[in-house]
Amino acid sequence: MKQYDVIIIGTGAGNIIADAAIRAHKTVALIERGRYGGTCLNRGCIPTKVMVTAANLVCETREGGRIGVLADHVRLDWDTVSKRLWHKIDEGPAIQMYYDQFANVTTYNGTASFTGKKTMLVAKNDGTSEEIEGKQIFLATGGRTNIPQLPGLEEAGYVTSETFFGPKFPQKLYKSLIVIGGGPIGCEFSHVFQTGGTKVTIVQHNVRLLPKEDEEVSDFMLKQFENRGIDIRLNQDTVSVRVEHGEKVLTMRNRTSGEVTEVRAEEILVAPGIRPMTELLHLEHTDVQLDKRGYIRTNEFLETTADGIWAIGDVNGKAPFRHKANYEAEILSHNLFEGNAPENWRWAQYEAVPAVTYTYPEAAHVGLTEKEAQAQGYETETAFNHYSTAVKGYALGFEAGHDDDGFFKLVLDKKTHEILGAHIVGHEASILIQPFINLLMCGEHTVKPVNEDIASETVKKLRQLPLKRYLNPRSVYTLSETMTPHPSLSEVTMWTRYYYEKK
């Protein structure tokens, strides 16, 4: 049985840990069952934002007449968009080739499952298998679409974000599309296809579109989508699917009134949320515990309940964003492979995890919504400002009282005036939210236990100290611990620290 210092399952943010382990001269096994690069490159942030950015420019150009810019017959060229997104997805093999050049790294194409507490069987995609053992094991397997148990769905056929960027990628835009799910993924796909001329219907179980956003942001986005002609059915239970006259027909029931209605389309996109990729790992052979949702339980140092096994990214259920996974991977790299003593360790804090929905307009937030803050016992007050009040906002064509006049909302602690949350909906919200992420991360931090029962001996000592750190707002290294929504243009400025640190 081949033994490694480090085994990493998943090649998204897990690659950050691999890079650190390689620099520390560890022997590394890197295992990937699909294309190298993880969810972000192959079916998530990157290909979707290639589509979204093209759709945004179409929308902006169509609205250009209000500021004196006229363009006739602007449209989405699906062939060009497709070529550009596949150009990025096809970078996966180059990632594997990069790691293959290191003598202390072995890359595997296959599915890993535990056979013991630190032993794994890799069922390779070529039909062979190999058993390996690792001293330190990092689980970065990500998540996948949570497919509902919906009668007739499998028979009718459907697409998910996984199969869309795979065997079911459309050679031309759909004539009509039903999107099951009104969260970020569903809304982004709806935006792209509606912009391209597809008749889009969103069927949402919740009473709100984008329910994790502040209610006023959610209401604003609903109005924008409706103004664009997207048919939105909120508060619906999906009942069944059938095929009729070459179309897929979805039957739904209003959760309040009980009214049963139907909608039909050429295709159905299923995007009601994600579930963790844990079932293939056979964690029953380890001491790794799952929470009631099926996610791997971790503490603030990303330890699991099993000694020598850590979990990052979507699989630990903290937040399903690549920038959050990168943040966790960098914490582990710093703590375990860069020679830092425990008293200089970093830990994960999830109070300042930004979230962006890349639609037109964008919605972005960091921190608590107004209702979340009140539920935590804060006496809150809010502050608003609309795009139209700024000269640049007016220059972009936003006018007071118009439906598309986006806004920024601060949620504040009324007693201390401290920022509890920042929320923005409108043009380039993904960029405008960055200063508030930075503000929330600066200053003195004291370790706060996450899942207090999970603790190695080292972590127990760090909690007892308790471990404290000060993030200087003027230090370039503070940027290393501040998340940036991925992929936003804020990465141009925030990621500058990578190049500085590599000097």
Are 307 and 392 members of one domain? Answer: no
Residue where a domain terminates, one of 248, 272, 296:
272
In single-letter form, the type of residue at position 1 comes to M
Is the same domain home to 177 and 222?
Answer: yes
Please indicate, yes or no, whether residues 29 and 174 belong to a single structural domain of this protein.
no
CB atoms within 10 A of CB 213: 23
Beta strand pairing call for 28-32 and 2-9 = parallel
Q: Which range of residues forms the domain containing residue 197?
A: 153-272
Contact (Cβ atoms closer than 8 angstroms) between residue 430 and residue 356: yes
In a domain, 77, yes or no: no
Among residues 298, 305, 340, 337, the alpha carbon closest in space to that of 319 is found at 298
Q: Is residue 170 part of a domain?
A: yes
In a domain, 57, yes or no: no
Indicate whether 381 and 480 sit together in one domain: yes
Regarding whether 365 and 455 lie in a shared domain, the answer is yes
Same domain (yes/no): 420, 405: yes
Please tell me the total count of domains within the chain.
Answer: 3
What count of other Cβ atoms lies within 10 Å of the Cβ of residue 464? 9
119 sits in which H/E element: strand 119-124
d(CA 376, CA 379): 9
3-state secondary structure of 226: helix
pTM, two decimals, is 0.96
In terms of domains, do 327 and 417 share one? Answer: no
Kindly give the confidence (pLDDT) of every residue in the chain, 503 residues in length, as a single tens digit, with 9 standing for 90 and above.
Answer: 999 999 999 999 999 999 999 999 999 999 999 999 999 989 899 999 999 999 999 999 999 999 999 998 999 999 999 999 999 999 999 999 999 999 999 999 999 999 999 999 999 999 999 999 999 999 999 999 999 999 999 999 999 999 999 999 999 999 999 999 999 999 999 999 999 999 999 999 999 999 999 999 999 999 999 999 999 999 999 999 999 999 999 999 999 999 999 999 999 999 999 999 999 999 999 999 999 999 999 999 999 999 999 999 999 999 999 999 999 999 999 999 999 999 999 999 999 999 999 999 999 999 999 999 999 999 999 999 999 999 999 999 999 999 999 999 999 999 999 999 999 999 999 999 999 999 999 999 999 999 999 999 999 999 999 999 999 999 998 998 999 999 999 999 999 887 777 65
The residue from 344, 371, 397 where one domain ends is 344
Do 497 and 359 share a domain, yes or no?
yes
| Backbone φ, ψ for residue 4 (5° rounding) | -130, 150
Same domain flag for 336 and 439: no
Show which of 254, 272, 290 is a domain's final residue.
272
Say if 408 falls within a structural domain.
Answer: yes
CATH of the domain at 452: 3.30.390.30
Residue 333 belongs to a domain? yes
Yes or no: say if 386 and 405 are a contact pair by the CB < 8 Å rule: yes
The number of CA neighbours under 13 Å toward the Cβ of 79 is 0
Cβ atoms of residues 210 and 182 within 8 Å: yes
In terms of domains, do 248 and 322 share one?
no
N-terminal to C-terminal alpha carbon distance within the chain = 39
Q: Nearest-CA neighbor of 462 among 297, 330, 300, 288? A: 300
**CB-facing half-sphere around the CA of 53: CA atoms within 13 A:** 15
Pairing of the two strands 362-367 and 380-386: unpaired
The answer to the question of residue 72 being in a domain is no
Same domain, yes or no: 490 and 381: yes
Residue 30 lies in a domain: yes
What are φ and ψ of residue 177, in 5° steps? -150, 130
> Is 78 domain-assigned?
no
Taken in order 409, 413, 418, 419, the sign of the CA dihedral is negative
Residues 254, 360, single domain; the answer is: no
Beta pairing class for 105-114 and 119-124 = antiparallel
Q: What is the CATH number of the domain that holds 284?
A: 3.50.50.60
